[in-house]
């Protein structure tokens, strides 16, 4: 009887061993293929990044409606081929980039991406820039160029700014604080806030910005009992909403940018000094501009800029890093893997 049971077990084992081995071989082959395709995807992605770097660094010039092929390179045992096509008729230069990673004798992976490039450094050349209206009160003096005939088709989009500044805070969890009390926070930033945010203070105090302030909502600088100071310190406040600065209570010092997608009502006590530079911009709205003292910097607004300042607006020479997207930058419009 034991002999019979052993023979039965042997027969069953012989029946099972072949499909088991086939399953193991299939799993091993699948793992190898998956590893190869992953390597191809990373190599193709490197090709996209290389093309973007070449375009934004000024190394390449691609004529509208023409293709340009970059030199091949080897990565992850795959040969990467890159072609760039400039899409005609776009306000901002737009490119179709195709990057294919070929594993010799096996397979290939292609990533196709559309990117849009833009250069906003020219905004810092004028004291006032807008495609809309400039309403200047008679007592205001502007020392600098006024461009009130800017082509609306060349005006940057909110998404370009969102992508650019979100990179500074994408690793941060959203802040749960809706109010920042300046007297309790001598340093602020980087900060990512989803919801409205308020700066306020019960005493004379200074908040020194140490990173980008990114607000998905509205931002108010409220008026409390005492004046308080925001030291921009070369940083940027970007607000995906409106900005309100209460009259004659807030001092802004240091170089930096204050940018809103919506409207800006700007009524500080003081706005920077002769050795500073503040760039103030509304991307889709207007700017109500009424600093109590002289203003050193530049103002840009889409629909209108109303200037009520009792002092002067002066465009000084730039002396530091504004954290502004000067030079050629790129945003990804479309991305597909095949």
For residues 209-225, average pLDDT: 91
Indicate the average pLDDT of the chain: 85
Confidence of residue 323 (pLDDT cuts 50, 70, 90): confident
For residues 140-146, average pLDDT: 85
Residues 20 and 63 in one domain: yes
Of the given ranges (10-14, 254-258, 302-306, 311-315), which has the lowest mean pLDDT? 10-14
pLDDT for 6 equals 72
Of the given ranges (11-20, 210-219, 275-284), which has the lowest mean pLDDT? 11-20
Residues 99 and 23 in one domain: yes
pLDDT for 327 equals 62
| pLDDT above 90: residue 209 | yes
Of the given ranges (4-8, 100-104, 106-110), which has the lowest mean pLDDT? 4-8
Q: 118, 145, 161: which is the final residue of a domain?
A: 118
Q: 97, 118, 139: which is the final residue of a domain?
A: 118
Asked if the structure places residue 192 within a domain, the reply is yes
| 248-269 pLDDT, tens digit each | 888 898 889 999 999 999 998 8
Sheet with 107-119: list strands edge to edge.
Answer: 67-75, 78-87, 94-103, 107-119, 328-337
Residues 93 and 142 in one domain: no
| pLDDT above 70: residue 20 | no
Between 241 and 117, the higher pLDDT residue: 241
C-alpha to C-alpha distance for 186 and 102, rounded to whole angstroms = 54
Residues 98 and 109 in one domain: yes
Confidence of residue 247 (pLDDT cuts 50, 70, 90): confident
C-alpha to C-alpha distance for 196 and 184, rounded to whole angstroms = 19
| 288-310 pLDDT, tens digit each | 998 877 888 889 999 999 998 66
Residues 101 and 141 in one domain: no
Asked if the structure places residue 334 within a domain, the reply is no
- Give the domain extent around 183: 120-325
The rounded radius of gyration (Å) of the Cα atoms in the chain is 29
Across-strand partners of 251? 229, 270
Asked if the structure places residue 333 within a domain, the reply is no
Instruction: Output the six-digit token pair for 238.
Output: 């970007």
Residues 234 and 95 in one domain: no
Asked if the structure places residue 337 within a domain, the reply is no
Instruction: Output the six-digit token pair for 51.
Output: 């093309």
Split into its structural domains, the chain has a count of 2
Asked if the structure places residue 180 within a domain, the reply is yes
Question: 319 φ, ψ to 5°?
Answer: -115, 0
Residues 106 and 124 in one domain: no
Confidence of residue 215 (pLDDT cuts 50, 70, 90): very high
């Amino acid at each position: 009887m034991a002999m019979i049971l052993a023979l039965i077990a042997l027969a069953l084992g012989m029946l099972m061993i072949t499909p088991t081995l086939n399953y193991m071989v299939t799993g091993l082959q699948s793992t190898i293929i998956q590893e190869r395709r992953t390597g191809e995807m990373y190599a193709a992605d490197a090709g996209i990044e290389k093309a973007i770097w070449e375009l934004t660094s000024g190394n390449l010039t691609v004529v509208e409606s023409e293709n340009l092929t970059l030199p091949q390179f080897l990565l992850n045992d795959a040969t990467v081929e890159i072609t760039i096509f400039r899409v005609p008729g776009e306000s901002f230069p737009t490119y179709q980039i195709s990057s294919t990673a070929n594993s010799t004798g096996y397979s290939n992976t292609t990533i196709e991406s559309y990117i849009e490039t833009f250069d906003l450094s020219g905004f810092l050349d004028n004291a006032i820039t807008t495609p809309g209206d400039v309403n200047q009160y008679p007592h205001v003096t502007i020392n600098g160029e006024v461009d009130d005939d800017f082509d609306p088709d060349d005006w940057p989009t909110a998404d370009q700014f969102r992508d650019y500044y979100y990179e500074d805070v994408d690793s941060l969890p959203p802040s749960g604080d809706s109010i920042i009390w300046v007297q309790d926070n001598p340093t602020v930033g980087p900060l990512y806030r989803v919801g409205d945010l308020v700066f306020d203070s019960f005493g004379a105090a200074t908040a020194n910005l140490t990173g980008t302030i990114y607000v998905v909502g509205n931002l108010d600088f409220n008026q409390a009992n005492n004046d308080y100071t925001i030291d921009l310190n070369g940083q940027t406040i970007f607000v995906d909403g409106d900005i309100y600065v209460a009259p004659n209570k807030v001092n802004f010092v240091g170089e930096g940018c204050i940018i809103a997608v919506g409207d800006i009502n700007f009524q500080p006590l003081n706005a920077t000094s002769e050795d500073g530079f503040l760039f103030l911009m509304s991307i889709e709205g207007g700017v109500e501009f009424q600093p109590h003292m002289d203003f050193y910097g530049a103002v840009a607004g889409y629909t209108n800029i109303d200037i009520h300042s009792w002092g002067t607006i002066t465009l000084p020479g730039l002396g530091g890093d504004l954290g502004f997207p000067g030079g050629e930058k790129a945003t990804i419009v479309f991305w597909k893997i095949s």
